[in-house]
Amino acid sequence: MSGSFYSSVLQRLEALKSVMPLSDREAEVLLKFQSINRQTLDVDGQKYDAYRIQHSRALGPGKGGIRFHPAVSEDEVKSLALLMSLKNSLAGLPYGGAKGGVAFNPKEKTPVELEKISRAYVSAFHEVLGQDRDIPAPDVYTNDQIMGWMLDEYEKIKGYHEPGMITGKPLSLGGLALRQDATAMGCFYMIESMIKSLGWSSTGLKVAVQGFGNAGSYIAQMLQAAGHKIIAVSDSQEAVMHPDGLDIQALMDLKKRRLPLGSGDSGSKIDNQTLLASEVDLLILAALEDQITDQNAGKVRAKVIIEMANGPVSASADKILFDNKVLVVPDIAANAGGVTGSYFEWAQNRTGHILDDEYLVNKLKSNMRSVWERIYGLYEAKDKQVDLRTGAYILAVQRILEAEKARGHI
Ligand code: NAD
């Protein structure tokens, strides 16, 4: 699965040569990884493959989450690190791209075991991390508690406080309340801008959400509160549907109690592929990579796909969706709210100034709107002949290459 994700990222960068001037040297610099760090963590006699991979540092220190998932591999982490470089660049943040992961199933571990693995991760990689070097954050199956353990381990090793070395941490350790919802809020503001650009109604859209975790459940809640109808949601176990709209709060309560989505009376059970093919205005992909591929892209009946997850649409599916006039709002734009929230947290940790929530929400809103206006503006300027992803990649790559040139690397 991750092999095809990596080849999707490479194929898309390769395809840029036909839509923007890109010399061989520039392409070579873009594809170069700053450092690929692999370690085997040994925790209570069990071994775990762990990675921290830094792609570009042209615009600033590396930034990107840490994932705990059995499918974590070097190629997957490389793809995610490269996407982080593009996302941070597109969002105008002072960061390069990085990502990390440990290959195991956290659902099978006790909290004590999770803490040991989190601490072992920092002990293995502390030399390549730091507020001016590479700043991790939560990703799939990691959370604020894990960031708290990681910060504690880092500060123990270094012997001084450095809260800016990690974001998405508990509030008591310098975290930011907004960070938890920033991905969904940012995505919501982007959807608002998109609705205006497309001339759609601002209420009553039909929505399906794949992945009812951090990102997916909050966006479902926000869209429902704004008057849209969430007709289907899924997690890794099952999917539920109700044509008149699901009760999102009831489903979130089930998840909190660790009960299956289908165990309430909110909707009827369907399979994941039915959800992906449902007739909706918005299909929000908030689970993992490679969910829409050339195998099922032709069955998509949504008008717009929002990539809240990283890499949920494969490169082979892009063309099918484009030909079928399904608009895809790419990951590096749609989920940039998360890293923007992380940037606020980091800036606050660095300066010691506590920024007011209203100011931050407005800043998040204006950043996300600006990203949308730039990618949609380019899409229109190119007579809608290239997809939104290509436009987003062009803008992101231009900023990285400008920095590389200014550094004298090109
Ligand atoms: P999470 O672990 O909170 O949620 C993931 C959800 O996806 C879970 O509900 C899981 O059950 C579900 N899932 C897994 N496989 C599935 C499948 N095959 N079908 C349906 N559902 C499935 O993770 P998250 O933080 O919400 O991240 C989700 C995606 O969003 C990831 O790709 C992540 O990289 C991306 N993302 C998250 C953030 C953030 O701030 N949380 C920011 C940017 C990008």
**Which of 90, 140, 167, 210 best tests ligand 1's pocket when mutated (most atoms within 8 Å of CB)?**
140
139 CA → ligand 1 middle, Å:
8
Question: What distances in angstroms separate CA 10 from CA 3, 146, 198, 273, 402, one per listed residue?
Answer: 11, 31, 30, 27, 21
CA dihedral (166, 170, 174, 175) positive or negative: positive
Provide the 8-state DSSP code for 138.
Answer: B
Distance of CA 166 from the midpoint of ligand 1 (Å): 20
What is the full DSSP assignment across 82-135?
Answer: HHHHHHHHHTT-S---EEEEE-S-GGGS-HHHHHHHHHHHHHHHGGG-BTTTEE
Q: How far apart are CA 313 and CA 325, in angstroms?
A: 15
Q: Pocket of ligand 1, candidates 335, 342, 344: which has the most ligand atoms within 8 Å of its Cβ, to mutate? A: 335
Question: Which residue(s) pair with 49 in the sheet?
Answer: 40
Q: How far is the CA of 244 from the centre of ligand 1 (A)?
A: 25
309 lines ligand 1 (CB under 6 A): yes
DSSP designation for 319: H
SS3 325: coil
From ligand 1's centre to the CA of 141, what distance in Å?
A: 8
Question: Which DSSP symbol is given to 48?
Answer: E
How far apart (Å, rounded) are the C-alpha atoms in residues 381 and 398?
17
Q: How many helices (H) and strands (E) does the chain have?
A: 14, 13
Whether the Cβ atoms of residue 35 and residue 128 lie closer than 8 Å to each other: yes
Q: Is 55 helix (H, G, I), strand (E, B) or coil?
A: coil
pLDDT in tens, the chain (410 residues): 445 788 888 889 888 999 999 999 999 999 999 999 999 999 999 999 999 999 999 999 999 999 999 999 999 999 999 999 999 999 999 999 999 999 999 999 999 999 999 999 999 999 999 999 999 999 999 999 999 999 999 999 999 999 999 999 999 999 999 988 999 999 999 999 999 999 999 999 999 999 999 899 999 999 999 999 999 999 999 999 999 999 999 999 999 999 999 998 888 999 999 999 999 999 999 999 999 999 999 999 999 999 999 999 999 999 999 999 999 999 999 999 999 999 999 999 999 998 899 999 999 999 999 999 999 999 999 999 999 999 999 999 999 999 999 999 99
**What residues are paired with 50 via a beta bridge?**
39, 102
**By C-alpha distance, which of 229, 182, 204 is closest to 342?**
182
Atom 36 of ligand 1, residue of closest alpha carbon: 309
Is any atom of ligand 1 closer than 6 Å to the C-beta of 338? yes
Three-state SS string over 73-84 comes to CHHHHHHHHHHH
What's the alpha-carbon Rg for the chain, to the nearest Å? 20
Measured in Å, residue 333 CA sits from the centre of ligand 1 at 16
Cα torsion 117, 123, 125, 129 to 10°: value is: 110
Q: Which amino acid is at 344?
A: F
Cβ(288) – ligand 1 distance below 6 Å: yes
Q: Catalytic site residue 319?
A: no
Looking at the CA of residue 168, tell me the nearest atom of ligand 1: 40
Q: How far apart are CA 404 and CA 25, in angstroms?
A: 11
Give the separation between CA 410 and CA 408, rounded to whole angstroms: 6
- According to the model, what pLDDT value does residue 2 have? 47
In short, whether 217's Cβ falls inside 6 Å of ligand 1 is no
- Say if ligand 1 is within 6 A of residue 213 CB: yes
Which token pair is 31? 């594809």
Helix (H, G, I), strand (E, B) or coil at 154: helix
**For ligand 1, is residue 143 a contact (CB within 6 Å)?**
no
Write down the pLDDT at residue 195.
Answer: 98
0.85 exceeded by the pTM? Answer: yes
Q: Which amino acid is at 65?
A: G
Rounded CA separation 314/210 (Å):
16
Helix, strand, coil percentages for the chain (3-state, nearest 5): 50, 15, 35
| Residue partners of 353: CB distance under 8 A and separation at least 6 | none
CA distances 69 to 30, 102, 200, 310, Å, are: 27, 7, 38, 14
- Please state the φ and ψ torsions of residue 268, each to the nearest 5 degrees: -100, 155
> What single-letter amino acid sits at 236?
S
Residues 6+ away with beta carbon under 8 Å from 244: 229, 231
Q: Which one is catalytic: 99, 169, 206, 229?
A: 99
The rounded Å distance from CA 105 to ligand 1 centre is: 14
Question: What would the DSSP string read from start to end of 338-379?
Answer: HHHHHHHHHHHHHH-PPPPHHHHHHHHHHHHHHHHHHHHHHH
